[in-house]
Amino acid sequence: MRALPVFLVLALLLPGTALAGRFAIGVDEGASLEDVAALVEARTGARATVDEGLRAVFVFAPSAAVLEDLGGVEYVEALTGLTRQLAFTPNDPLYSRQWHLPVVRAFDSWLQLPTLLSTRVAVIDSGIDGKHPEFRGRVAAAQSFVGGSPWEDTQGHGTFVAGEIAAATGNAQGIAGLAFPAQLVIAKVTRGDRNIPVEAEAKAIRWAVDRGARVINLSLAGVRDPDDSRRDSYSKLEAAAVAYAHRNGALVVAAVGNGDQMPQMPWPFAGWPAALPHVVGVSALARDGDVPNFSNRDPFYNDIAAPGDDIYSTLPRSVTEARPSCANQGYSDCGPFEYRRAEGTSFAAPLVSAAAALILSTKPGLKPDQVSALLTRTAFDVTPATGCSRCRQERDQLTGWGRLNVAESLSYAPFGAPPADRYETNDDAGASAPRLYGNRKQITATIDFWDDQIDVYSVRLEKGEKISATLRGPAGHDSNLLLWKPGTTEVEDPAMQKRRAAQSLKPGSLESIRSYRAPVAGWYFLEVKISSPGSGTYVLGFTKRKTAKR
């Protein structure tokens, strides 16, 4: 049922003549418009008008009640006071060049920008032009992890990304940043040769989280190749930094990567860290709605798409002054060639980071996975009908769940987020697995095939003690339940498979392990895994009992 506007609800509660007004009467498919109009005129004594295309009759009447019982009427809707209003449009003079903001419905939620709580967004990149007028009062903290000053950006990439997120909005100057309440946390990690040491990236993530960043933007990617370990650039240090961010309430958003930086284009795998658990991986869309060849594909770790072609943003004035005759100093049309029609998943990710910041400014108590779900599950499905000839309906490897829809995600933020999983981050055995105490336990948590396939818990067993465990996974999806011996550190590591103690791998969502007897004392690990596309809530329970001594 569509909710009525507040002012219309109030009007309907008022007595007497307040109910009078103009009404639309929908006409049943099999009924005659003229006959219904005649009935309406006879009942109200007022002249009725007919719209054949809408199959509706319009009339002024004392109330809806006098119309609802007429033959052939499908609905009666009060029109007095029922209006729509234009969304907020920034007065920034270069806003017209930001084609991408209307496409993601950046400001559709407001007539005027509201006063929202500030949310800190970390830009882990090449620094920022600290004297740029768009960032006056917008930077909460800045530090370099590669030497030099974080307030200087000789390459421009970080300043470009920062402008997309948090350039001053509605100040009649320059461009409009999407996350208008955001404060930036700037971490400079890019060396002069444009390479980013993983050590610098990891330390920067930790530093940013410790300074209150709730969103971490990583417009960077390393090669991921599941078929060739020699080429794959997975880093446990990077993974530990991302897990630290998630554990401390920060959502990590990362570009899936560009094919021109990969072994071939298009590249069929999202890069690192976009492919890590709980990271929102972002691909790019072109102005025509298609997915450019440079945007990496991935059936699992490409979560959402956003405009990443012909993007307009800020640049350091030290970079744009190389073209002194260009009028818009400090903006990308005055920059080097590669920025004048900037493209890349690096420039798609900041839009998603900015949307995440808006959600958190609206509902600051949300957890990272809740924000991720709001972003992805409200995305606009990208299909051939919207310009992407190779996209299929619903989730696909090119655009994930679809195109970012800021207004829709904000509309669901107050009440539509899924329940928070208080046991995260518990994606593997070892120290990250939360300990469950007691002889009998039942817990409820969530799992997601695309972003959180595995949850692991540790349970203490004495030598000879028996454990039985049951799992009721998300309905309609395959779930697995496994028990691992003490000393297991990575449940997906082939070298660890000899430590698998018991398993239940039946089709469907119901699994059970019965009366496993512990051969040695120690902390064992219960693994919950979703093995078919889907997500949702599961219930895990176990019972322990000591065996009688003979």
Which amino acids are annotated catalytic? 125, 157, 346
Residues 6+ apart with CB under 8 A from 219: 123, 125, 157, 161, 254, 255, 344, 345, 346, 347, 349, 350
Q: Which residue has the tokens 């899924």?
A: 418
Name the residue type at position 225.
Answer: D
Residue 364, preceding bond cis, omega within 30 degrees? no
Task: Report CA 141 to chain centroid distance, whole Å.
Answer: 25
DSSP 8-state symbol, 22: E
By three-state DSSP, how is residue 243 classified?
helix
Structure tokens at 317: 């004035």
Closest CA to 210 of 140, 156, 295: 140
CA distances in angstroms from 373 to 229, 344, 451, listed in the order given: 31, 24, 10
Q: Counting beta carbons within 10 angstroms of the beta carbon of residue 500, is it exposed (0 to 12), middle (13 to 18) or buried (19 or more)?
A: middle
Helices then strands, each counted (H, E), the chain: 11, 20
CA distance 202 to 239: 8
Residue 273, preceding bond cis, omega within 30 degrees? yes
What's the number of CA atoms in the CB half-sphere (13 Å) around residue 230?
Answer: 1
CA distance 519 to 526: 16
Q: List the Cα angle 165/171/174 in 5-degree steps.
A: 65
DSSP 8-state symbol, 334: G
CA distance 142 to 369: 26
